[in-house]
């Protein structure tokens, strides 16, 4: 069950500034405001949401960012802190199946809630897959308990905190990759892909991402997969409304240009592009850690996160995203449809190591009009097609390559995904390349998910939620602990806010972002 609603705390007279209105920033801002601070949320663009932007034009409503919603209790907890119920502001519709996965050989599977319908499909790929799937889920449940419940909201500000969890990580073999773990349970290469691709949702390479990131299948099974009616951006707007009702202030279209630091290295506020200073005892940055340190903190205050160290970080892949409004529908599509390549490890090598265009297309297609027809004019369709591509170290000239990439994506949808006449049905079109991720969203080298989640860039090895260099500065973005994705950034916002409150000698925000963990544990025991 969700926690009961609470009464916001009395004002403390303390001030906080949160940089960036993505999910991590909004979550941190709500927690700090509910804890009694006076919080200003400053966003560079004209709309909140960060990567969760929106295109609203000609009767179409198209989400531009994250659209696969899991762990809804993390959202509900924010409303509870404000004495409200999520259900009064956000309507989440459960999806069944969660998504359809289509393989390059034409085989496919509707992946959803574990049970006879799913197991029958798995057995078509591999005899004994039902039992293997149950054993795999039992392992992921253990991973979930160790890596999400216990570590997901941990503050890894000290080496001691990391050393304390090393035995737990060793017990669950965190040193092995997701793909290696899955391969111990399944022989069929397609099932190995099916149960190991999830790190791609947070910018990780399944062949080398730590096996702790295999918790996603468990999270899906116990918590479900959802669509927010009106789109993800409506959920963003609902959270912004909550923040304002708590007394928080929102500043849009005014980028932060500097985190003001005073000797001997304490954040005193921020300065924005219009020249104004915003004094504060607490500064929370939802920007990528490389962006925060490289662009906002002067070099003389960066003993830990120097430019040289930032240059050595391994970053996630990027994405090419095509947003389409169509004058016809393709009813055979699921809400989420994923096209996987034959040579899965080879394509991952292209993306992460060689940083060349993949030899085969991998494609994620979001068709929310399956669930909510009103997102398009009558008889129309909304399509969001995402293809993983290398980040900008790949030296790809996107001004020249973008038209060819568009053609590749459309061709794959028309042929492999069975969407004939697609190019003739387009009435609204937008695209986002790694260049836009860099220039519009402030992503280092255009990496769509910030720092790559490998073992030695996880937990204590990631940039800390409490800055190592500047007192009073806290990080809540995808590049800090625990990582990217909506659940990850919300938990990062929780950790950042609680670190700030503890440093101010105030009680931490209640709930700690783990209501979902308690719910999952209860369901697993049922």
Q: What whole-number distance in Å separates Cα of residue 510 and Cα of residue 9?
A: 11
Q: Give residue 496's Cα distance to chain centre.
A: 16
Characterize the bridge pairing of strands 54-57 and 60-63.
antiparallel
What's the pLDDT tens digit per position in 443-469?
Answer: 999 999 999 988 778 776 789 999 999
Q: Enumerate the H helices of 254-383 as residue ranges.
A: 289-291, 307-312, 344-349
Which pLDDT belongs to residue 193? Answer: 93
Beta bridge partners of 279: 269
Angle at 328 between CA 322 and CA 331, to 5 degrees: 90
Write out pLDDT tens, residues 253-301. Answer: 999 999 999 999 999 999 999 999 999 999 999 999 999 999 999 999 9
What are the respective helix, strand and coil percentages of the chain, to the nearest 5? 40, 20, 40
Helix, coil or strand: residue 390: coil
Query: Going from the N-terminus, what domains does the chain have, and what CATH number goes with each?
Result: 15-93+227-313+449-525 (3.50.50.60), 96-224 (no CATH), 318-439 (3.30.519)
Task: For 475-506, give the DSSP string.
Answer: E-STTSSS-SSHHHHHHHHHHHHHHHHHHTT-
Rg, C-alpha atoms of the chain: 22
Q: Residue 153: its pLDDT value, please?
A: 64
Which one, of 100, 61, 68, 49, lies nearest residue 324 by Cα? 61
- Of 1, 7, 148, 25, give the one whose Cα is nearest residue 510: 7
What pLDDT does residue 164 have? 57
What sections of 426-485 are H helices per DSSP? 434-439
pLDDT of res. 512:
44
Below-50 pLDDT ranges, the chain: 1-3, 512-526
Residue 339: asked if its preceding bond is cis (omega within 30°), the reply is no
pLDDT score of 161: 57
- Sign, CA torsion 417/385/492/463: positive
pTM for this prediction:
0.92
Q: How many CA atoms lie within 13 A of 103 on its CB side?
A: 18
Calpha distance 28→285 (Å, rounded): 10
Predicted local confidence at residue 212, as pLDDT = 80
Apex CA 120: angle with CA 119 and CA 126, to 5°? 80
């Amino acid at each position: 069950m969700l926690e009961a609603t609470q009464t916001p705390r009395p004002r403390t007279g303390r001030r906080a500034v949160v940089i960036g209105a993505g999910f991590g920033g909004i979550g941190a801002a709500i927690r700090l405001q509910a804890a009694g601070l006076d919080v200003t949320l400053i966003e560079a663009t004209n709309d909140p949401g960060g990567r969760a932007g929106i295109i609203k034009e000609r009767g179409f409503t198209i989400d531009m960012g994250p659209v696969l919603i899991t762990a809804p209790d993390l959202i509900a907890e924010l409303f509870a802190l404000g004495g409200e119920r999520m259900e009064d502001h956000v309507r989440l519709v459960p999806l069944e199946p969660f998504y359809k996965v289509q393989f390059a050989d034409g085989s496919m599977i509707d992946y959803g809630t574990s049970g006879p319908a799913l197991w029958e499909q798995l057995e078509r790929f591999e005899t004994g897959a039902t039992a293997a799937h149950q054993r795999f889920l039992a392992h992921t449940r253990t991973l979930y308990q160790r890596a999400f419940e216990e570590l997901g909201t941990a503050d890894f500000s000290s080496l001691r905190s990391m050393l304390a969890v090393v035995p737990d990580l060793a017990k669950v073999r965190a040193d092995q990759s997701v793909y290696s773990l899955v391969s111990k349970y399944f022989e069929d290469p397609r099932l190995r892909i099916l149960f190991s691709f999830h790190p791609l949702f947070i910018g990780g390479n399944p062949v080398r991402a730590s096996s702790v990131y295999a918790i996603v299948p468990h999270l899906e099974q116990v918590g479900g997969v959802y669509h927010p009616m009106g789109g993800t951006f409506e959920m963003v707007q609902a959270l912004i409304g909550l923040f304002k009702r708590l007394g928080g202030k929102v500043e849009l279209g005014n980028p932060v240009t500097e985190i003001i630091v005073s000797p001997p290295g304490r954040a005193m506020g921020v300065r924005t592009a219009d020249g104004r200073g915003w004094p504060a005892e607490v500064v929370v940055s939802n920007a990528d850690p490389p962006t925060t340190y490289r662009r906002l903190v002067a070099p003389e205050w960066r003993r830990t996160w120097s430019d040289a160290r930032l240059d050595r970080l391994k970053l996630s892949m990027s994405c090419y995203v095509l947003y389409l409004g169509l004058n016809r529908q393709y009813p055979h599509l699921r809400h989420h449809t994923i096209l996987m390549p034959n040579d899965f490890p080879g394509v991952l090598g292209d993306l992460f190591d060689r940083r060349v265009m993949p030899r085969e297309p991998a494609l994620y297609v979001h068709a929310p009009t399956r669930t909510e027809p009103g997102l398009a004019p009558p008889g129309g369709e909304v399509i969001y097609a995402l293809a993983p591509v290398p980040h900008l170290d790949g030296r790809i000239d996107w001004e020249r390559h973008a038209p060819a990439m568009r053609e590749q994506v459309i061709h794959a949808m028309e042929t492999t995904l069975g969407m004939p006449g697609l190019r003739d049905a387009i009435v609204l079109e937008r695209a986002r390349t790694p260049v836009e991720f860099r220039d519009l969203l402030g992503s280092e080298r255009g990496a769509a998910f910030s720092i790559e989640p490998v073992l030695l860039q996880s937990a204590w090895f990631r940039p800390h939620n409490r800055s190592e260099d500047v007192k009073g500065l806290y990080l809540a973005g995808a590049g800090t602990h625990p990582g990217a994705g909506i659940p990850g950034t919300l938990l990062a916002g929780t950790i950042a806010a609680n670190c700030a409150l503890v440093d101010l000698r105030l009680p931490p925000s209640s709930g700690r972002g783990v209501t979902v963990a308690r719910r999952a544990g209860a369901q697993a025991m049922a």
